[in-house]
A and B are shown apart, each in its own frame.
Chain A
Amino acid sequence: MTGEAKLPLWEVFIRARNGLAHKHVGSLHAADAKMALQAARDVYTRRGEGLSIWLVPSTAIVASDPDEKGMLFEPAESKIYRHPTFYEVPDEVGHM
């Protein structure tokens, strides 16, 4: 129990079917990439949830800081002219 070396943590991403992006589904502990892949298959695809698995060491993920959420994302909120619905097109013009 105590004093035992820790198994590294991996993040698991699964592509449900061709045409879709890989999506984060969870994480697991495994000694190396090969064992992580086998464990991901057993833990996260018992019912045909996917056709492809990506594994990333959790330590390799760079994440934004939630405290900087305002600084990072608020500038986009005021720029409503970036959305197509900002512009008026007369009905007579039809679908655009």
Chain B
Amino acid sequence: MYTQALDAKDAAKPPADPEDLARERAFQARIDDEVRIEPNDWMPAAYRRTLIRQISQHAHSEVVGMLPEGNWITRAPTLRRKAILLAKVQDEGGHGLYLYAAAETLNISREELVDQLLSGAAKYSSIFNYPTLSWADIGAIGWLVDGAAIMNQIPLCRCSYGPYARAMIRICKEESFHQRQGYEIMLTLARGTAEQRAMAQDALNRWWWPSLMMFGPPDAESSHSDQSTRWRIKRFSNDELRQKFVDATVPQGHFLGLAFPDPALQFDDAAGHWRFGPIDWVEFKNVVAGNGPCNRDRIRQRREAHEEGRWVREAALAHAAKRAARAAAPAAAAAE
């Protein structure tokens, strides 16, 4: 995920009055001392906006992320794989809920957050706009997409905003299962028939570059990161995290006996890093702008799910109101 939100531009703020400046200085001093900020503490309006944008984009990504994987639940190759995939998709839903709850502590309602996703006003991670064409894609998503997510998310466990940091700690514990189960799928395919190996290779070919794009634009272009770094929302730059991911992942791919779709990929002995070729940022911008292979499909499915669930929400509230009225009725009668 999902720190792509940090790179969005924020509206220019009006000049602050001296009292606000003093509060902002005190706020920054607390952050510099690694004191966590909690929901009812004073915070600059821009800090609140930045967090709402990032946490909600993160939550939306978890929820939309259920779609490409859910696509394979009915066609998982074995019952074991099916049970695992169900558990993983259920986790993604759970992660979305932890994160929505963290965003709501910043004084925005769940309904507003869901509206922002369904209306297209809010973004979610670009990665979920790619299709899952074969079973091997489920392996590649776990290994690469969740692997990239973990790189991004571990530093967020120390984010300055308490509720977000606490949600991330739970999420990181669970993501580890996701990455390992994905790698196991890839390993099984890589050790299988020629056809299975070809499936694994094809999945790596299609998911590698979009996974590198998950870390967001190169540092030179993401001007917004500076403020997020000062606020200790972000602790590593996009390029630093991307390099860490590449260094960790390339040997894992070689162990599988697969080739990365990057002719420029080579080990830099002096620096101790895997150097990779240029990323197609035009494709990234297109996908973020809504023109990826599955953007319209994903939002259509979320809207349908929300509309089809409406009667359930209404019935649950009506039932609760009826039960409450019944419980109150004998008490009222007794009081007369």
> What is the interface of chain A, defined by CB distance below 8 A to chain B?
1-2, 4-7, 9, 26-32, 35, 42-43, 46-47, 63, 65-67
Contact = CB atoms under 8 A, between A and B. Distances in A.
Contacts of A4: 111, 310, 313-314
B186 interface: no
Contacts of A28: 97, 101
Contacts of B292: none
A1 B90 contact: no
A28 to B, nearest CB: 7
Shortest 9 CB-CB contacts between residues of A and residues of B: A31-B316, A32-B320, A31-B320, A27-B101, A31-B317, A66-B40, A66-B41, A1-B115, A43-B94
A48 B314 CA distance: 32
B81 interface: no
Contacts of B42: 66-67
Contact of A46 (B94, B110, B115): B94
Contacts of B38: 66
B172 to A, nearest CB: 13
Q: What band does the interface of chain B fall in when counting residues whose beta carbon is under 8 Å from A?
A: 20 to 34
B323 A63 contact: no
Given A7-B313, A66-B41, A32 B90 contact: no
Given A4-B310, A5-B317, A30-B316, 7 more contacts: A1-B306, A2-B111, A5-B314, A29-B110, A31-B313, A46-B87, A66-B38
B114 interface: yes
B121 to A, nearest CB: 12
B97 A32 contact: no
Interface in B86-133: 87, 90-91, 94, 97-98, 101, 104, 109-111, 114-115, 118
B200 interface: no
B316 A32 contact: yes
9 contacts: A7-B110, A7-B317, A26-B101, A31-B313, A32-B324, A46-B90, A66-B38, A66-B40, A66-B41
Nearest to A63: B40
B55 interface: no
